[in-house]
Amino acid sequence: MRGAARYGIEHELALVRPDGSLADFTVLGHDEVAAVVAQLPELPGDQADLRIGDAGIRRKRWYAEGYERLGEQGELLRFEPKGIEIRTVVHDSVEATEAALAADAVLLAEVAARHALRPVAIGHHPVRSSYQLDPPPNACERALMASSPEERTAPLHMVTWGPDLNLSFPEAGSDPAVLADAAAKLTYYSPYLVPWSFSSPFRDGRPWGGLSARTSRRTGARPAALAYLEPDAPLLPTDPSLVRHAGIPGEIGRIEFKAFDAVAVVPGEEPADGCGTGLPGALLSLLAGLLRDTTLPGRRRTPDAVAHRRSALRGWTDPGTRAGSQAVLDAATAALRDELGHDDRLALLRERLGRRETPAGRMLARYRSGGGITGVAAQVRPAAL
């Protein structure tokens, strides 16, 4: 992709109560999340870059993320939240994008604390593995679910959290073939990109045996990357989707990577001490370099579910996954060598790859030392007699 890149991040966060339990869709009402969002500022100038949606829930940079239950005529009956999402407007640099997101994350944490909630970055629900529509979907909802692969698998997103990292290259134009090729490249290399973000080693209340339950269950059924085309552009018939029509003019030309686990932006979001911040910006640089690169030939229109499951289970202990991660990092570094600002961020990724260090590894170490599982209420031990 040629020309200057522009960047944005959509940052999904789970919410934890003071006793350590996850405030999920079984106990968290939309009114509770709406009360937090109501105390956050609305900046009308943001809306040129941000899609609001028909229900009006997404009017701000912060909004309740979850599942809309519809009536027979398509009207909104209720909204079942899974947490809060923060999204940035489009910025001309990784630094500005990450700084804006960090400022909004700090403000969210301050406001959420007034409501006895703490935002945390975890990739998969630590206790529940499914979200059941109750009552079952009606005819209108079934028709919506049949309208696209993503609508069909939408309930799965209720037990997972992860960022959408967005890039666009205005000088590259909006040719559907070019945009689809970029998304296909990210899709092919996704199993080697995602290990840096792994933050879901727990499922059903215990370690599940790997590092990313989110990747193992979700990528393949849902997209790794999407490209947004002009409203009249033809769409490739893939399952899951590789391209879709832009909902607002500002989305045209956007390339969105959707397969990372949730990663912390500010220290309070960390699921374990020592996970560190700086990953969102580093991953944006990695994606920008991979899209700049002209040497790596791999392309896939749909994610390789087997490769993702292997990566999710073994991470960088798998030689093939480790070699693939090294290859994409080397290619991105070479492609960005003449662009200022990316070196330190890519160095962070190189250090973590060298140590085979992921947030999931830190979470497991914390668990093994008696620190418990983020999102699972701490057990109160009886006093000694």
Q: What is the pLDDT of residue 385?
A: 31
Residue-wise pLDDT tens digits, 332-363: 999 999 998 899 999 999 999 999 999 999 99
Q: Give the chain's mean pLDDT.
A: 93
CA distance 256 to 195: 18
Q: Is the pLDDT of residue 109 over 50?
A: yes
What are the Cα distances from residue 385, in Å, to 258, 298, 378, 379, 381?
52, 64, 21, 18, 12
The predicted model gives 124-129 an average pLDDT of 96
Within a 10 A sphere around the Cβ of 31, how many other Cβ atoms?
A: 11
Cα–Cα distance between 84 and 383 in angstroms, integer? 37
pLDDT for res 245 = 95
134 pLDDT more than 80: yes
Predicted pLDDT at 378:
76
pLDDT at 47: 61
**pLDDT the model gives residue 42:** 86
User: Which structure tokens are listed for 79?
Assistant: 């909204």
pLDDT for the residue 230: 96
Residue 299's pLDDT is what?
A: 98
Map out the domains of the chain with their CATH numbers. 6-368 (3.30.590.20)
Amino acid present at 296: L
**Single-letter code of the amino acid located at 4:** A
Give CA separation, 17 vs 4, 190, 382, in Å. 42, 33, 22
Category of 169 on φ-ψ map: left (φ > 0), alpha (ψ -120 to 50) or beta: beta
- At 268, which amino acid appears? G
Q: Report d(CA 97, CA 93) in Å as an integer.
A: 6
For residue 120, pLDDT over 70 is answered with yes
The residue-averaged pLDDT of 214-220 equals 96
